[in-house]
Amino acid sequence: MNTFRLSVLASALISAAAAAETPTLGNPAISAVLDGYYQSGDRALGGREEGFGLGESELAISANIDDLFYGKLTAVIEAHDGETELELEEAFVQTLALPGGLSVRAGRFLSDVGYLNNQHLHSDAFAGRPAVYRAFLGSHYFDDGLRLSWVAPTDLYWTFGVEGFKGDKMRAEDEHGEREFDTVGVYNAFTKLGGDIGDNSSWQLGLAYMKNQNGRLTPHEEGEEVHEEDEHAHDHSHSAAYTGENTYVADFVYKWAPNGNYKYQHLTLSGEFFRVNDFKAPELHEEEHEEEEGHEHAHDKDYHQGWYLSGVYQFSPSWSAGLRYGELDTQLAHDDHYDAQKLKETEVSLNWHHSHFSTVRLQYTRQQGTNFDGISDDNLFTLQYVMTLGAHGAHQF
């Protein structure tokens, strides 16, 4: 069945390419990204698994449809537990000629929440997203929806946007299958501001607020134990492992290159902070207020949070090294209370780039879990390749 679906996808891409040779569509960009690895152990929160494996191999086609619209289709192929999974990551159209700096995108696409999320995984300098992304966004959050964005006519780069999504991948667990979810479940508002510092440096700051209508946990029966993490630890459906009604994100990035020439040498510093509030059901809040009078479980928190800091230095055209540290603080439901959990990750990567189209990466990861359900301290080594075939545009800032 997987072979059949892959054949259908390949036929569709070839047919689309043939159709795109007409003058109205132009010549589309068609590319494939191959991602393979070996890892010495399992990564927490749905990361790469122990042994040989395939990451997210990607097939993409994009083109200007005409002078008013741009379109892109991206399919991701991933192997997990001996099965091949195929999923559409992007299938959207975007306007090209709206007045006043406005733009509309519709279909399935990557949300513009945070700094990393709107970038494809193969563009990362590490073998996987930070723990906060794996916990709160399912590594990278893409969904069916609509985006309206605006770029201000200012000397500094300033953009603002709002998004509405179906939100299936951001739903909280429904223990009894009786909950009625909102059909438009996620709303996101974001803004980014950036500019240059002389000829060598540039920067960008971002803020986002995500409203998840279906993010609160449903009440569970007394004596019933909820293991939110267990159900998501190795979930490759790109769903969030921890959800809440309100998510706040702050991000920054600073880039340096001699005379602005990134080919031979450059440095990138970046970081993000996530706070996910209001994940408990209203009924659980009422119970806690009553318990606080008797000083029982008074220290339960109604939020998760996490952050990371990253530095990547390309010291020659062919070599770069990266260092990233992050922490994740979450609450795991157990009967009538919540237990605090903490995950720390330290990652060091060494990357060899023969060209813009090929990367071989060796990475060391130290993961430390404090009371983190199902996670033990471990040292992981990952050897990865990322290879691109065909036309491939420049990565985002």
- Architecture per CATH, domain 98-119+127-386, reads as Beta Barrel (2.40)
Question: Is the separation of the CB atoms in 47 and 130 below 8 Å?
Answer: no
Instruction: Please give the DSSP secondary-structure letter assigned to residue 223.
Output: T
- Tokens 């990138």 label which residue? 268
- Tokens 């289709």 label which residue? 73
Average pLDDT value for residue range 234-245: 76
Report the 3 state secondary structure along 269-305.
EEEEEEEEECCCCHHHHHHHHHHHHCCCCCCCCCEEE
Distances (CA, A) of 21 to 28, 29, 63, 64, 257: 8, 11, 11, 12, 39
The pLDDT of residue 225 is above 80: no
According to the model, what pLDDT value does residue 222 have?
38
Average pLDDT value for residue range 219-246: 60
Question: Is the separation of the CB atoms in 230 and 373 below 8 Å?
Answer: yes
Question: Is the separation of the CB atoms in 55 and 236 below 8 Å?
Answer: no
According to the model, what pLDDT value does residue 260 have?
81
Instruction: Give the lowest-confidence range in 166-180, 307-321, 371-385.
Output: 166-180
Average pLDDT value for residue range 135-157: 96
Q: Note the pLDDT tens digit of each residue in 56-69.
A: 899 999 999 999 99
Domain regions of the chain by residue span: 98-119+127-386
Question: Is the separation of the CB atoms in 161 and 190 below 8 Å?
Answer: yes
According to the model, what pLDDT value does residue 282 have?
64
pLDDT-derived band of residue 203, with 50, 70 and 90 as boundaries?
very high
The pLDDT of residue 342 is above 50: yes
Instruction: Please give the DSSP secondary-structure letter assigned to residue 40.
Output: S
- For residue 288, which phi and psi values (nearest 5 degrees)? -65, -40
Instruction: Please give the DSSP secondary-structure letter assigned to residue 3.
Output: H
According to the model, what pLDDT value does residue 235 have?
45
The pLDDT of residue 380 is above 50: yes
Question: Is the separation of the CB atoms in 150 and 101 below 8 Å?
Answer: yes
pLDDT-derived band of residue 193, with 50, 70 and 90 as boundaries?
very high
The pLDDT of residue 387 is above 90: yes
Average pLDDT value for residue range 286-312: 70
Residue 114's nearest CA partner among 28, 206, 4 is 206
Encoding tokens for residue 328?
Answer: 């994740």
According to the model, what pLDDT value does residue 45 have?
86
Buried b (16+ CB within 10 A) or exposed e, 320-332: bebebbbbbbbbb
Instruction: Please give the DSSP secondary-structure letter assigned to residue 171.
Output: P
Chain-wide mean pLDDT for the chain? Answer: 84
Comparing 5 with 36, which gets the higher pLDDT?
A: 36
Q: Note the pLDDT tens digit of each residue in 168-187.
A: 999 988 766 677 888 999 99
Other CB atoms within a 10 A radius of the CB of residue 287 amount to 16
- What pTM, to 2 d.p., does this model score? 0.86
According to the model, what pLDDT value does residue 104 have?
98
According to the model, what pLDDT value does residue 44 have?
85
According to the model, what pLDDT value does residue 21 have?
42
The pLDDT of residue 4 is above 60: no
- For residue 141, which phi and psi values (nearest 5 degrees)? -95, 115
In percent, the amount of the chain with pLDDT more than 90 equals 62
Q: Note the pLDDT tens digit of each residue in 248-286.
A: 999 999 999 998 888 889 999 999 999 999 988 766 555
Encoding tokens for residue 329?
Answer: 């603080």
